[in-house]
Amino acid sequence: MRWLAGAIAAIALAVVAAGGIASAGAVGPYPELGGCPVFPDPPAGLPAHAPSLPNEAAWNQDISKAPVAANSAATIAYIDSHGGNLLHPDFGSPRAYGFPYAVVGLGQPKLPIHYTAYGDESDRGPFPVPANAPVEGGKSSDGDRHVLTVDRAHCTLYELYRAFPIHNGGAHWNADSGSRWDLRSTALRPDSWTSADAAGLPIFPGLVRYDEVAAGHLEHAIRVTFDSTRDAWVHPASHCAGDTSDPDAPAMGTRLRLKSDYRLGGLSDGARVIAEALERYGMIVADNGSNWYFSGSSDRRWNDENLDQLKRIPGSAFQVVRSAARAHIC
């Protein structure tokens, strides 16, 4: 992967020494997580053909041999009839496209969080989210404005939705919702609670991160969105945001994977690494959005021409994996 190695060598790591955070405008490289896991691995004795787990260990579960859901074909047909039918990486370069994140360490000051919409389903602050933490879409964005921060000193993930830094009257963040995740635990959000994402899932563990792809080892499920979703959730999701009661529509938390017989011969470098992860770990439905758009980190080092190879993969190349949990109908 010469283009990956060359890009890494060409760009120096930007870190604020006191807190260890990526600078406010950073779009990669990012600080390392300091040995923190991104949720525990599945139990060592879990058989290869087990259904998708109903807790946060599902992100790290190999589901390449998991059973196919009974309505898999109907769900794929539903998805493709309600939007685009080709895979699409929702990240790239050189602009701030995708999800940026900050990594902080010991001594990072905590700021109050003032919730403006879903405070009753949010974790109470303060959070060690820097006032200059990077915002999805850029500081002037009027979109979802997610803010993701990993505290590597305590292996804790903090995520905010529709977040705005406020400096008048004492520094704090205004946010529609927010969540705290212990990266060493498989615990879920309370049932019916949202998070910084519609499904009540964490965002960070589902991101395709550049350094993983550059190393040739993307070993977790990937966050994906669809135009039309069922008004239901499947654990590890915990919240509904659907627009239909159709049982063939994908519920929040639905797990999909690329079929093992899909030919990867036309893919190279990073695109092939991502496709292999889609076969082994698949995708988890996390929000409403454009069809087959899957998430990655904002990073100036992405090679867009290489990522574009993935846009040739059709939705029909995927299948729905059976979950160990039943769908909760809202």
* pLDDT for the residue numbered 46: 96
Interacting residues of 300 by C-beta distance below 8 A, sequence separation 6+:
11, 27, 28, 93, 94
239 belongs to a structural domain: yes
What residues form DSSP beta bridges with 296?
208
pLDDT at 148 over 70: yes
pLDDT at 19 over 70: no
241 belongs to a structural domain: yes
* pLDDT for the residue numbered 94: 76
pLDDT at 164 over 60: yes
* pLDDT for the residue numbered 20: 53
246 belongs to a structural domain: yes
* pLDDT for the residue numbered 6: 39
Residue 59 has φ and ψ, to the nearest 5°, of -60, -30
156 belongs to a structural domain: yes
* pLDDT for the residue numbered 4: 38
The band of 169, judged by pLDDT with boundaries at 50, 70 and 90, is confident
pLDDT at 3 over 50: no
State how far the alpha carbon of 191 is from the alpha carbons of 160, 195, 254, in Å.
Answer: 19, 11, 16
Interacting residues of 108 by C-beta distance below 8 A, sequence separation 6+:
19, 20, 21, 128, 130, 151, 153
Q: What is the dihedral of CA 143, 147, 148, 150, to 10 degrees?
A: 170
What is the per-residue pLDDT across 34-57, written as a single tens digit (0 to 9) for each?
Answer: 999 999 999 999 998 999 999 999
* Average pLDDT taken over every residue of the chain: 92
* pLDDT for the residue numbered 14: 34
Q: What gap in Å lies between CA 325 and CA 188, rounded to an integer? A: 13
Which residue is associated with the tokens 């063939």? 248
What is the per-residue pLDDT across 65-114, written as a single tens digit (0 to 9) for each?
Answer: 999 999 999 999 999 999 999 999 999 987 779 999 999 999 999 999 99
What is the per-residue pLDDT across 177-221, written as a single tens digit (0 to 9) for each?
Answer: 999 999 999 999 999 999 999 999 999 999 999 999 999 999 999
pLDDT at 7 over 90: no
* Domain membership of residue 141 as a residue range: 2-39+51-329
Q: Which DSSP string corresponds to 107-174?
A: TPPPB-EEESS-GGGS----B---TT---TT-TT--S---EEEEETTTTEEEEEES-EEE-TTS-EEE
The band of 13, judged by pLDDT with boundaries at 50, 70 and 90, is very low
* pLDDT for the residue numbered 26: 56
What is the per-residue pLDDT across 210-269, written as a single tens digit (0 to 9) for each?
Answer: 999 999 999 999 999 999 999 999 999 999 999 999 999 999 999 999 999 999 999 999
pLDDT at 8 over 70: no
What is the per-residue pLDDT across 285-324, written as a single tens digit (0 to 9) for each?
Answer: 999 999 999 999 999 999 999 999 999 999 999 999 999 9
Q: Which residue from 188, 171, 170, 166 is spatially nearest to 179, judged by alpha carbons?
A: 188
245 belongs to a structural domain: yes
272 belongs to a structural domain: yes
230 belongs to a structural domain: yes
Domain count, the chain: 1
The band of 27, judged by pLDDT with boundaries at 50, 70 and 90, is confident
* pLDDT for the residue numbered 96: 77
* pLDDT for the residue numbered 170: 85
pLDDT at 270 over 70: yes
59 belongs to a structural domain: yes
* pLDDT for the residue numbered 21: 55
